[in-house]
């Protein structure tokens, strides 16, 4: 999931100072799990705006904020409230905000959140970064643990000289990623993989912007 956190009140109000009325768009997926785009978060932002003398013309928590077409359809029922707002505030990740920009080409659209990373929720609203979206996954060779993301140096072939008592030299709070990989490989009887040397990453596969269609999608649609 995409992890987001709310911008500070000061930053939000600085962005909003030119406008008097707002329509709020949340997201029922990642941003809801993060507590940054659910109904409670929207109610809190509405109260903050009203305290500053501003108006909220309406709000919606669409199914998936970054699904541009679906969100556009859901917004149809609220078109008057959207039209009445000076600006749109999107309470999701940066991708959801950019759906808002596409849906409202003639209106200012602002994010209420900072988009942090792709991660896992390990306990309620506790998040760990697990994948850096490198475009060339190698965790089939590293016991399912990503050294690019979990090792602050992104080392591909075993620990650096700074590892101490199994912990990372960059932060003693975290276990060395390569100790985790070793322990995992040992547990699943695949320690032999530790002998394989991983080649340097091909970072061209991470080059932005990416665009992708599901390769089998067109074929299936044509057959139907
Ligand atoms: S190797 Fe790349 S795609 Fe795989 S988990 Fe790590 S960053 Fe993500
Ligand atoms: S101690 Fe381990 S996790 Fe930390 S930087 Fe070195 S190899 Fe990476």
Check residues 146 and 224 and name the one with the higher pLDDT: 146
Q: Please tell me whether residues 105 and 33 are part of one structural domain.
A: yes
Report d(CA 9, CA 181) in Å as an integer.
41
**Residue identifier of the C-alpha nearest atom 3 of ligand 1:** 137
Q: Kindly tell me if the per-residue pLDDT of 72 is higher than 80.
A: yes
Q: Please tell me whether residues 156 and 81 are part of one structural domain.
A: no
Residue 31 lies in a domain: yes
Q: Tell me the mean pLDDT in the region 178-199.
A: 97
Number of domains in the chain: 2
Q: Please tell me whether residues 42 and 107 are part of one structural domain.
A: yes
pLDDT at residue number 15: 96
pLDDT at residue number 16: 97
What is the CA(107)–ligand 2 centre distance, in A? 47
Q: Which of 82, 116, 150 is the last residue of a domain?
A: 116
Report d(CA 15, CA 26) in Å as an integer.
18
Q: Please tell me whether residues 156 and 56 are part of one structural domain.
A: no
Give which of 40, 5, 1, 16 is closest to 133, Cα–Cα: 1
Residue 181 lies in a domain: yes
pLDDT at residue number 93: 97
For residue 51, give the CATH number of its domain: 3.40.50.2300
Please give all residues whose beta carbon lies within 6 A of any atom in ligand 2, as ranges. Answer: 151-153, 155, 159-160, 162-163, 168-170, 176-178
Report d(CA 95, CA 109) in Å as an integer.
12
| Ligand closest to the CA atom of residue 158 | 2
**Residue identifier of the C-alpha nearest atom 7 of ligand 2:** 159
Q: Give me the chain's average pLDDT, please.
A: 95
Q: Please tell me whether residues 73 and 10 are part of one structural domain.
A: yes
Q: Please tell me whether residues 104 and 27 are part of one structural domain.
A: yes
pLDDT at residue number 212: 86
Q: Kindly tell me if the per-residue pLDDT of 218 is higher than 70.
A: no
Residue 207 lies in a domain: no
Q: Which of 66, 84, 116 is the last residue of a domain?
A: 116
Q: Please tell me whether residues 96 and 156 are part of one structural domain.
A: no
Q: Please tell me whether residues 7 and 108 are part of one structural domain.
A: yes
Q: Which of 116, 141, 160 is the last residue of a domain?
A: 116
Q: Which of these ranges, 27-36, 91-100, 119-128, 209-218, has the smallest mean pLDDT?
A: 209-218
Q: Please tell me whether residues 111 and 137 are part of one structural domain.
A: no
Q: Kindly indicate the confidence band of residue 158, based on its pLDDT and cuts at 50, 70 and 90.
A: very high
pLDDT at residue number 219: 60
What is the CA(76)–ligand 2 centre distance, in A? 51
Percent of the chain clearing pLDDT 90 (strictly above): 90
Q: Please tell me whether residues 43 and 76 are part of one structural domain.
A: yes
Range of the domain at 22: 2-116
Query: Is the pTM higher than 0.75?
Result: yes
Please give all residues whose beta carbon lies within 6 A of any atom in ligand 1, as ranges. Answer: 131-134, 137-139, 146, 148-149
Q: Please tell me whether residues 28 and 73 are part of one structural domain.
A: yes
Residue 125 lies in a domain: no
Q: Please tell me whether residues 97 and 150 are part of one structural domain.
A: no
pLDDT at residue number 207: 87
Q: Kindly tell me if the per-residue pLDDT of 97 is higher than 70.
A: yes
Residue 9 lies in a domain: yes
């Amino acid at each position: 999931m995409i992890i987001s956190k709310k911008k500070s009140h000061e930053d939000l109000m600085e962005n909003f100072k030119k406008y008097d009325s707002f329509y709020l768009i949340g997201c029922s997926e990642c941003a809801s799990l993060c507590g940054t785009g659910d109904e409670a978060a929207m109610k809190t932002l509405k109260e903050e705006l009203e305290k500053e003398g501003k108006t909220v013309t309406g709000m919606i928590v669409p199914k998936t904020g970054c699904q541009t077409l679906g969100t556009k359809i859901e917004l149809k029922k609220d078109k008057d409230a959207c039209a009445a707002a000076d600006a749109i505030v999107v309470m999701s990740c940066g991708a959801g905000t950019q759906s808002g920009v596409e849906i409202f080409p003639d209106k200012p659209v602002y994010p209420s959140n900072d988009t942090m990373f792709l991660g896992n929720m390990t306990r309620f609203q506790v998040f760990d970064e697990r994948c850096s979206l490198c475009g060339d996954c190698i965790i089939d060779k590293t016991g399912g643990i990503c050294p690019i993301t979990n090792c602050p140096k992104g080392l591909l072939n075993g620990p650096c000289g700074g590892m101490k008592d199994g912990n990372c030299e960059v932060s003693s709070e975290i276990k060395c990623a390569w100790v985790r990989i070793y322990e995992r490989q040992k547990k699943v009887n695949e320690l032999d993989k530790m002998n394989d040397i991983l080649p340097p990453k091909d970072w061209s596969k991470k080059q932005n912007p990416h665009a992708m269609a599901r390769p089998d999608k067109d074929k299936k649609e044509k057959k139907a």
